[in-house]
Amino acid sequence: MGEINRNARQIMAQVVSNKRVGQYHQLIINIGDVAQHCKPGNFVAINVGGDTSRMILRRAFAISRVSVSSVSGGTMELIVAPHGQGSMWLCSQHEGSVLDVVVPLGTAFGIPTEPVQVLLVGGGYGSAPLFGLAEVLKARGCRVDMLLGASTASKIYAPMEGKRAVNSLRIYTEDATMGQMGRVTDPIQALIQDLDIAVIYSCGPMPMLAAIDAITRGSDVIHQCAVEESMACGIGVCMTCVLPTIDGEGNIAMLRSCIDGPVMDGEKVMWDKVGKGL
């Protein structure tokens, strides 16, 4: 599958548990020794719908975190919102169900070689992968602060878990039903100054990622974002998930979210061109 997916394998994986968490489902899936190759930012492509389904394309889901065990080999956690046909089918799978998965896929978050101040910014259930990332960053000695945001309280995923995972947590909802009223991007500029932030890691809706880039662009703050683009194949073949990017020399390229991402340097994405073509 290429250099970026050199550890990816197609396996039959058993669902260990499926729990409802607010508006979302938390699925724990046994992936054996493949778990040791999964890193924060990777995703999994799952064959959905069953043997008689007309849904022939796999669905891509971000890996929230992995757990390595000497007994089972390892498991991965997925946080899924039952919106489309594929995600609703996945959320209906019970303990013991077997899934056809390809894992791990995509480019992971870059981890600092030395301890630095980092800020994690998550929107809705897209924030789930940040919890596993927080554990890795804290093990590296980084101070980890987190912002979680959504339109309303019910769309904030696991706020108590987020609080346990980081040094400080701030929550913003647009209707003020949890935390402070406003957008999750509102306090970022001040926090960069107050906490001497070196790296921002973000997961969530594309407009949120673009708003963070507008704050960090041209500064010394590195912005690593996990882009949300629909992926038909997940392995770089179909070219349906391309994003317009530009490098430091002004060279423009259409990069594939599934291979060149989903984690990208926010400053390289041409946010004003996303979804509009070049």
Q: How confident is the model over 103-112, as pLDDT tens digits?
A: 999 999 999 9
Single-letter amino acid, residue 84: G
Q: What are phi and psi of 225, to 5 degrees?
A: -125, 145
| Whether residue 241 has pLDDT greater than 80 | yes
pLDDT on residue 104: 96
Q: Which region among 45-59, 139-153, 203-217 has the lowest average model confidence (pLDDT)?
A: 45-59
What letter does residue 195 receive in the DSSP assignment?
A: H
Domains detected in the chain = 9-105 (2.40.30.10), 107-226 (3.40.50.80), 228-278 (2.10.240)
Residue 225: is it exposed, middle or buried by C-beta count within 10 angstroms (0-12/13-18/19+)?
buried
Cβ within 8 Å of residue 12, ≥6 positions away:
98, 99, 100, 101
What are the tens digits of pLDDT across the range 201-213?
Answer: 999 999 999 999 9
Q: What is the mean pLDDT of residues 133-141?
A: 95
Q: What is the mean pLDDT of residues 17-33?
A: 94
Considering only residues 39 and 232, tell me which one the structure prediction assigns the higher pLDDT.
39
Whole-prediction pTM: 0.93
Q: With cut-offs at 50, 70 and 90, classify the pLDDT of residue 278.
A: low
Give the percent of the chain with pLDDT over 70.
98
SS3 266: helix
